[in-house]
Structure 1
Amino acid sequence: MPITIHSDSKYKQYENLLLEKDQIQKEANQYQGLYLHHFGEKIVTLYRLKVECIRLKKKISLFQFQINQNQGIDIHKINYILKHEMTSYNNYLEQLLNDVKNCKKLKYSSDYEIKRSKQLYRRLAKQIHPDVNPLTDKTPELMDLWNQITIAYQANDTKELSELDVLVQRILQDLHCYARSIDIPNIDEKILQLKEEIQEYIQNEPYTYKFILMDEDKIYQKDIELKKEIQSYKDYQNKLNDVISKLLEDQEVFQTCQMN
């Protein structure tokens, strides 16, 4: 059924806020990639050290528990427990490594590609954004195209966006719905929610990474900060290893005395 677009100012405001939110999300993802490109290796090193210190602290606690129970230190049992308790940390480390690896493959877009991809995306979003056009959720072909559009937009892939634009117009023509008459329920609440979500994005990481990335002095300071933190955790790791060595030595002496 042919439909008409409301020219209502609230609808226009809602539409513009959706586009603004998508743009900010895209920028946040780009800042995340650039941040990892600059600092990723040090961030991975630091996280490895943090995880190792957590593991050593847990190990010390298990040692002390067994000693207090007069059980003697059972290394195999402790290692088994630690393996399971450290799973989530190791999984995150693996994800972090993948993120850093992928950021090295970042393709830098030209000003034209950035501008053109934004133009194409805005045109397509106004037509089939799921929060604007309910038909998208109900039409698998449109939803599939929308998912491809969001991926191409993140990559500033103007060629892909142009091709998707052709496909979208063809499907809309087949469905006889170039225009839409959309009743957005609770539009005032949704406008307020979008404004809050946008503020949440721009006030937090990774969006706020831009304030570091746009300032050479801050990049240098962050680099120094990470180096200092890495050294601090290395020192802490050494102290924890010393505690473990002492516990093992004391336990060995205790067991020898018992045997005598």
Structure 2
Amino acid sequence: MMDEIIKVKNEGYAEYEEVLLERDNVRKEALHWKMEYTREFGKLIADLFEMKITCIKKKKIITYCQAEVNKGKDIDHDAMFAYINQEMQEYNRQLQQMIDENEAANSGRQISTSAATKIKKIYHRLAKMLHPDINPKTDEIPELKRLWHMIVVSYNANDLEELETAEVLVKKALEEVGWENIVVEIDNLPEKIQRVRDEIIEIKGEDPYQYKFLLSDYEAVQEKKEALQKEMQEYMDYEKELDTMMEQFLSSGVSFKWTMD
């Protein structure tokens, strides 16, 4: 059997294999809940962040102009916007990342229960052969390393067809490297098992894994949406205050062309 080709000298190896696969399942579950969380709240969060950075930008413009006036200088529009755009780069990058994550979440692959079961079984078979923590040759042989990357990407994307293809390619690759010669001895196995168990506990105790409990509570979901909408209104009110500040600034005699790009 292909999933029995790795010969291991260690006692307790089966437990190590088990906890590694459990960790990978928990990681994937956390990724699933992150996607579900993004589907539920992603647009609200992105819209709120966009409003926040609009306010930040206007505030920075006002502060810049006031500083120039205080120094008795004319406001150089080109210099000001070069400075503001530089200041806003990281905010804009984060906003674009949110937008991209929303698109990815809402276009994510939806699969049946039977397909999910097949994906899990194939991944477990392949992980027992190529998981770098199980088979060190995976990191040593470029083709095996490439195939493992293909497996991980396909598993996380729920791509059954690609995983089935990977299984065929793995069999061929292992035949070429002579799988009968693969013998593994893992140092400090008890410590490694405990470390993986600790990692599982850590993943389960933090977001995005913890999103599952929020998303399973209808009232909690509605409360969060209401909180996001309330915060949005607060920033919309703040934007009006900033616009009033700018109008007052302009009415003080300063010549300034209001431009938002």
Query: Separation in 2 of the partners of 1:117 and 1:251?
Result: 69
Change (3 A) 1:119 1:68: same
Q: CA RMSD in A?
A: 2.1
Query: Separation in 2 of the partners of 1:111 and 1:41?
Result: 28
Q: CA deviation at 1:230?
A: 1.0
Q: CA deviation at 1:3?
A: 6.3
1:137-186 deviation digits (Å, cap 9, x = unpaired): 11111111111111221122233222221221222223222574322234
1:212, 1:218 within 8 Å by CA — same for their partners in 2? yes
Gaps of 5+ in 1: 254-260
1:113, 1:157 within 8 Å by CA — same for their partners in 2? no
Q: CA deviation at 1:46?
A: 0.4
1:73, 1:251 within 8 Å by CA — same for their partners in 2? no
Which of residues 3, 14, 17 in structure 2 aligns to 1:15? 17
Change (3 A) 1:87 1:167: same
Match of 2:51 in 1: 49
Q: CA deviation at 1:64?
A: 2.5
Which of residues 75, 78, 87 in structure 1 aligns to 2:77? 75
1:128, 1:142 within 8 Å by CA — same for their partners in 2? yes
- The one-letter code matched in structure 1 to 2:210 is T
Match of 1:231 in 2: 233
SS at match of 2:214: helix
Query: Separation in 2 of the partners of 1:82 and 1:196?
Result: 45
Match of 1:111 in 2: 113
Asked if 1:6 is matched to 2:3, the reply is no
Which has the larger displacement, 83-92 or 72-81? 72-81
Match of 2:259 in 1: none
1:3, 1:177 within 8 Å by CA — same for their partners in 2? yes
Asked if 1:209 is matched to 2:211, the reply is yes
Query: Separation in 2 of the partners of 1:192 and 1:61?
Result: 54
Which of residues 168, 171, 175 in structure 2 aligns to 1:169? 171
Query: Separation in 1 of the partners of 2:116 and 2:9?
Result: 29
Match of 2:29 in 1: 27
Q: CA deviation at 1:135?
A: 0.6
Which of residues 180, 183, 186 in structure 2 aligns to 1:181? 183
Residue identity (%): 35
Which of residues 71, 85, 91 in structure 2 aligns to 1:89? 91
Match of 2:65 in 1: 63
- The one-letter code matched in structure 1 to 2:69 is I
**TM-score, L = length of structure 1:** 0.87
Query: Separation in 2 of the partners of 1:179 and 1:5?
Result: 11
**TM-score, L = length of structure 2:** 0.87
Aligned length: 251
Asked if 1:252 is matched to 2:236, the reply is no
Change (3 A) 1:56 1:125: same
Query: Separation in 1 of the partners of 2:227 and 2:183?
Result: 54
1:64-120 deviation digits (Å, cap 9, x = unpaired): 221221214333322110011111111121121111112221222111111221111
Q: CA deviation at 1:125?
A: 0.5
Query: Separation in 1 of the partners of 2:84 and 2:46?
Result: 21
SS at match of 1:133: coil
Which has the larger displacement, 178-187 or 237-246? 178-187
Query: Separation in 1 of the partners of 2:236 and 2:244?
Result: 12
Match of 2:245 in 1: 243
Q: CA deviation at 1:39?
A: 1.8
